């Protein structure tokens, strides 16, 4: 058992792993010569043209071989890499038939389709994919910066804020004897006073515990237990900020073998300018993910929601392995009703937790796509729904659409941070929809939404960060360099 306190170290050029302050090293072979392609390292192939980056397997972000892990307990961050679509080398998650994370035309440029104003509406082709653009941000990876944002927003006393006690954050990492993350471990925390909290690890072997949210006294002694099948390991620690690692005595423990992917979509009238594009993007994304991870047992679910008094409040379509059925349900949704800004967010999130999520070594991901917050006065129901998501190990990935306001951003980032997801936001680069608010973050990369969402899924399946390929980056905000930018305080933060 290892317990880490806070540790902040500046990044080490481009071969460093950023673990929110802790630094470990990745062994790499890199040949960036042009022409016939760089030569891959041991076990790799030669690219069709350009550079090839080979990562020595296995990659460890903890233990003696991999360096020390910082207090955030986040997975490793790899430097930018270009995936040319033909390589079958050991870049995680890319098989021999995948085109990586570039748009389907293979050029790195978003596909465009031109129509004329004289074409009848019924004769228009389907909405093209690769049009919507987005950035992404991880508040757990940059928890120091997020804590400042949280304090500022709390001081502003924005009406309707979902309040969750986060004065202390404990990151619990579950590892095998060979220092590899364990997926699907049931983790429980018990203070001996009747407060028992539990969650499931994902591919990164991590859960995030907030003693204040669990009504546990600060610095109270808690017993932390991780269980996989008939195996278990326990330790005691103070309920305080820091990272606790639970190490099994066994090797070859579970890694992710399944993916449950749900889409939670606001279908009120204000989403009309983007819903058609979202539907086309998601239809393309799910097909790409199914192809990219053929060895992962995949299921798909959909939650569409509006508001009280509308044609429906929530429509749920539970998980299915029938991709055609999922696509049909997605295509049938229309943007109607609404009429005011807030929507039934609390009911949509609650319905999401009621889907038939699998336990065990499953990546459990919910993309929540919306442009409006919940109703003021129902924030406690939002908090309850997020608590249920944490208990089931569901990682929420909000996608902020046009018209997002401060309350919606705060709620979405809260949902991502407490569940272990990341915050995505559409940008104006596509020219689609209304104006997209600039998020309260210091730097980011803009890619297509397709690229961003597929990277998030790859991260959830493999347990390591997948930064955007250089060819996917359309522009940057805040001028990040090698995934890093520096705040005015001198603190480094990570964009990916």
More confident call, 131 vs 192: 192
Residue 357 has pLDDT above 70, yes or no: yes
Alpha helices (H) in 41-172, listed in sequence order: 63-66, 143-156
Q: Which fold has domain 121-153+256-494?
A: Rossmann fold (3.40.50)
Is the pLDDT score of 304 beyond 50?
A: yes
**pLDDT(344) > 60:** yes
pLDDT at 54: 34
Task: Answer whether 151's CB lies under 8 Å from 166's CB.
Answer: no
Count Cα neighbours of 243 within 13 Å in the Cβ-side half-sphere.
27
Give the number of C-alpha atoms closer than 13 A to the C-alpha of residue 455, restricted to the C-beta side.
32
pLDDT at 229: 94
61 vs 154, residue with greater confidence? 154
Residue 75: what pLDDT?
Answer: 43
Max avg pLDDT among 27-31, 45-49, 338-342: 338-342
Average pLDDT over residues 443-454: 95
Q: pLDDT value at position 284?
A: 84
Res. 441 pLDDT band, cuts 50 70 90: very high
> According to the model, what pLDDT value does residue 275 have?
85
Which residues are CB-contacts of 393 (< 8 A; sequence separation ≥ 6)?
Answer: 199, 200, 201, 202, 207, 357, 359, 364
Better pLDDT: 383 or 466: 383
pLDDT at 211 over 90: yes
Lowest mean pLDDT among 107-116, 186-195, 415-424, 471-480: 107-116
Residue 335's pLDDT band (cuts 50, 70, 90): confident
Residue percentage of the chain with pLDDT more than 90: 60
Position 193 scores a pLDDT of 93
Residue-wise pLDDT for 114-131, tens only, equals 332 322 323 334 455 678
Which pLDDT value is given to residue 97? 33
- Answer whether residue 106 shows pLDDT above 90: no
How much is the pLDDT for 115? 33
Q: Give the integer Cα–Cα distance in Å for 23 and 18.
A: 6
Every domain of the chain with CATH number 2.60.40.1120 lies at: 170-247
What's the whole-number mean pLDDT along residues 104-110?
Answer: 35
Q: Is the pLDDT of residue 165 over 50?
A: yes
Reported as a pLDDT band with limits 50, 70 and 90, residue 280 is confident
Mean pLDDT of the chain: 79
Higher-confidence position of 356 and 275: 356
Tell me the mean pLDDT in the region 424-432: 91
Residue that is written with structure tokens 């991502």 in the block: 416
Query: 389 with 353: CB under 8 angstroms?
Result: yes
Q: 342: which 2 tokens?
A: 């807030």
For position 366, what pLDDT does the model report? 98
Residue 411 has a pLDDT of 98
What would the pLDDT profile of 388-400 be if each residue is shown by its tens digit?
999 999 999 999 9
Give strand pairing partners of 170: 209, 242
Surface-to-core class of residue 92, CB atoms within 10 Å of its CB (0-12 exposed, 13-18 middle, 19+ buried) = middle
User: Which of 150-154, 158-162, 276-280 has the least mean pLDDT?
Assistant: 276-280
| pLDDT score recorded for residue 67 | 36
Instruction: Name the nearest CA neighbour of 73 among 169, 173, 2, 203.
Output: 173
Is residue 422 scored above 50 in pLDDT? yes
Provide the CB-side half-sphere exposure for 8 (13 A, CA).
Answer: 10
- pLDDT score of 314 more than 70: yes
**Domain 170-247 is in which class?**
mainly beta
Q: Name the region of 100 (left: φ>0; alpha: ψ -120 to 50; beta: rest).
A: left
pTM: 0.76
**Residue 169 CB partners (closer than 8 Å, separation 6+):** 143, 208, 209, 210, 241
In the chain, CATH 3.40.50.410 covers 121-153+256-494
pLDDT band (50, 70, 90) for residue 159: very high
Q: What is the pLDDT of residues 56-96, one digit of tens each?
A: 333 333 333 333 333 444 444 433 333 333 333 333 333 33
């Amino acid at each position: 058992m290892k317990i880490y306190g806070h540790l902040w170290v500046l990044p080490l050029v481009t071969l460093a792993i950023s673990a929110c302050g802790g630094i470990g090293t990745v062994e790499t072979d890199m040949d960036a010569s042009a022409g016939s392609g760089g030569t891959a390292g041991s076990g790799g192939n030669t690219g069709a043209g350009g550079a090839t980056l080979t990562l020595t397997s296995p990659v460890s972000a903890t233990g003696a071989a991999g360096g020390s892990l910082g207090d955030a307990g986040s997975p490793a961050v790899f430097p930018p890499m270009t995936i040319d679509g033909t390589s079958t080398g050991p870049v995680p998650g890319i098989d021999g038939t995948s085109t990586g994370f570039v748009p389907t035309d293979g050029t790195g440029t978003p596909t465009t389709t031109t129509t004329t104003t004289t074409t009848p509406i019924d004769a228009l082709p389907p909405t093209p994919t690769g049009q919507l653009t987005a950035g992404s941000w991880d508040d757990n990876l940059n928890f120091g910066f997020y804590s400042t944002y949280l304090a500022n927003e709390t001081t502003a006393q924005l009406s309707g804020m979902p309040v969750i006690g986060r004065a202390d954050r404990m990151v619990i990492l579950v590892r095998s004897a060979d220092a590899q993350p364990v997926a699907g471990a049931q983790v429980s925390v018990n203070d001996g006073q009747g407060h028992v909290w539990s969650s499931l690890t994902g591919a990164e072997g991590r859960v995030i515990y907030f003693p204040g949210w669990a009504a546990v006294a600060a610095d109270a002694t808690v017993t932390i237990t991780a269980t996989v099948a008939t195996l278990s390991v326990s330790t005691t620690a103070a309920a305080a900020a820091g990272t606790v690692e639970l190490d099994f005595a066994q090797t070859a423990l579970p890694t992710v073998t399944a993916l449950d992917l749900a889409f939670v979509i606001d279908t009120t009238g204000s989403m009309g300018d983007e819903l058609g594009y979202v539907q086309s993007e998601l239809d393309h994304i799910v097909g790409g993910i199914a192809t990219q991870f053929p060895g992962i047992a995949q299921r798909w679910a959909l939650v569409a929601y509006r508001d009280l008094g509308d044609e429906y409040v929530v429509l749920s379509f539970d998980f299915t392995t029938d991709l055609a059925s999922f696509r049909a349900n997605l295509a049938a949704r229309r943007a109607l009703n609404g009429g005011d800004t807030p929507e039934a967010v609390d009911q949509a999130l609650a319905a999401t937790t009621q889907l038939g999520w699998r336990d065990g070594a499953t990546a459990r991901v919910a993309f929540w796509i919306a442009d409006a917050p919940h109703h003021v006065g129902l924030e406690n129901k939002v908090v309850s729904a997020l608590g249920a998501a944490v208990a089931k190990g569901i990682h929420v990935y909000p996608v902020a659409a046009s018209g997002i306001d401060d309350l919606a951003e705060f709620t979405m980032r809260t949902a991502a941070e407490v569940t272990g997801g990341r915050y995505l936001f559409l940008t104006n680069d596509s020219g689609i929809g209304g104006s997209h608010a600039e998020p309260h973050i210091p730097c980011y990369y803009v890619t297509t939404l397709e690229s961003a969402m597929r990277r998030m899924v790859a991260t959830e399946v493999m347990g390591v960060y997948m930064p955007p390929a250089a060819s996917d980056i359309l522009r940057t905000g805040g001028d990040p360099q090698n995934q890093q930018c520096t705040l005015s305080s001198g603190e480094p933060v990570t964009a990916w």
